[in-house]
């Protein structure tokens, strides 16, 4: 599903964010990306959904070579990927329903199909009764549930989550993890960058640790491994 071969990313300011990454993530895996702040985790995530382009090396996601993809094809590629952000990135003037439906409207789905699918995913994340509310009327956990619903409404092959529990209290964080686990059980690949030691240690999945832009550990059913 995701393959990186000798991937480097150097920013214009001279910072080498990732250096020689060689990673293969198979379809249906649940993978944690861990490491200290500034280690290169967010750059890794941005490379996967082509927010950033590698300076060198090859990245393939669901058969698409991101090192060669034309800019006009990027929006079409991203329809295969769901992305969940720490800060939700919801459209503030749209209701819960409209935020989720927007992802289907841009690909010109039929309105009846949109309504059916949106209500399905809102039910999946437990927000059917919040469909007409604005993001400002929701708690942080509820906003993150909307973000997840939006990320999966297109039935993507892979969901990329960048610190999805970073702004949430512990109880709400576990609720969000349950949703991501349920998504993974259906066969969707989940890749999650996180600093949450408790979640990583309790939910045994593959752990890839990145430090100074390099993979220093890759363990099946691994632990968090950091004290800070």
pLDDT in tens, 133-181: 999 999 999 999 999 999 999 999 999 999 999 889 999 999 999 999 9
Give the model confidence (pLDDT) of 104-141 as tens digits.
998 888 999 999 999 999 999 999 999 999 999 999 99
Give the model confidence (pLDDT) of 38-76 as tens digits.
899 999 999 999 999 999 999 999 999 998 899 999 988
Cα(127)–Cα(96) distance, rounded to whole angstroms?
A: 9
**CB neighbour class for 47 (10 Å; exposed up to 12, middle 13-18, buried from 19):** buried
Cα(67)–Cα(201) distance, rounded to whole angstroms?
A: 34
Q: Where are the domains of the chain?
A: 1-80+157-164+189-228
Q: 1-80+157-164+189-228 belongs to which homologous superfamily?
A: P-loop containing nucleotide triphosphate hydrolases (3.40.50.300)
Cα(105)–Cα(82) distance, rounded to whole angstroms?
A: 16
Cα(152)–Cα(223) distance, rounded to whole angstroms?
A: 27
DSSP state, residue 173: H
C-beta of residue 141 within 8 angstroms of C-beta of residue 176? yes
Quote the pLDDT of residue 228. Answer: 53
- For residue 224, what are its two tokens? 């968090």
Cα(21)–Cα(5) distance, rounded to whole angstroms?
A: 6
């Amino acid at each position: 599903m995701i393959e990186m071969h000798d991937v480097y990313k150097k920013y214009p300011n001279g910072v080498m964010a990732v250096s020689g990454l060689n990673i293969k993530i198979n379809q249906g895996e649940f993978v944690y990306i861990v490491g200290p702040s500034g280690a290169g985790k967010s750059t890794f995530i941005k490379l996967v959904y082509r927010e950033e382009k590698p300076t060198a090396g090859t990245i393939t996601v669901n058969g698409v070579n991101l090192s060669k993809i034309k800019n006009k094809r990027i929006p079409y590629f991203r329809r295969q990927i769901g992305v969940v952000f720490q800060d939700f990135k919801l459209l503030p003037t749209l209701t819960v329903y409209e935020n989720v439906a927007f992802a289907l409207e841009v690909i010109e789905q039929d309105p009846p199909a949109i309504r059916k699918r949106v209500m399905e995913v809102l039910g999946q994340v437990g927000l059917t009764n919040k469909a007409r509310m604005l993001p400002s009327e929701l708690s942080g956990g509820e906003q993150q549930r909307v973000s997840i619903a939006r990320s999966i409404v297109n039935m993507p092959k892979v969901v990329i989550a960048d610190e999805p529990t970073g702004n949430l209290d512990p109880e709400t964080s576990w609720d969000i993890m349950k949703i991501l686990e349920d998504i993974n059980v259906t066969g969707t690949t989940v890749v999650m960058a996180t600093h949450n030691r408790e979640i990583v240690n309790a939910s045994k999945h593959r752990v890839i640790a990145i430090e100074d832009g390099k993979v220093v550990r890759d363990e099946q059913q691994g632990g968090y491994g950091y004290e800070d």
